[in-house]
Amino acid sequence: MRENEIDRRSHLNMSIKKSTGSGNKPSPAQHRWNVASRTLLAVAGGYAITAMATASLGVALPLPRAQAVMAATLFSFALYCALVIWAYSAATARRAWSVAAVLAALPAAHLAFRWVAA
């Protein structure tokens, strides 16, 4: 029983080592562009998405105007932090930008609908 457990652990360790190998390492220039892209997404994209979400929630929440704006503003701090964390924790920069585009489309569509309907 003990030997079987040791064999299983060594097999798991080997599979982990294989999957985290550096066989597909990007060049220094690619790495720099990847970091620059994620930084642009975190700073500028995060700000834009957060601003749109705050404006959208400010008009959508069923509260008095001052309370709705305050609640949306409080939510915006958590949203911005989450977007910055997501920009760097996504598996690829392309995935981070794709998710950010979807997240930006939701409040943008809501604001556009409100603008056209008004």
pTM of the model: 0.75
Within 10 angstroms of residue 51's Cβ, the number of other Cβ atoms is: 13
User: What share of residues in the chain are helix, strand, coil (percent, to 5)?
Assistant: 85, 0, 15
- Per domain, the residue ranges of the chain are 28-117
What confidence tens digit (pLDDT) does each residue in 15-69 have? 444 445 556 788 999 999 999 999 999 999 999 999 999 999 999 999 999 999 9
The length of the chain is 118
What confidence tens digit (pLDDT) does each residue in 67-91 have? 999 999 999 999 999 999 999 999 9
pLDDT of res. 3: 59
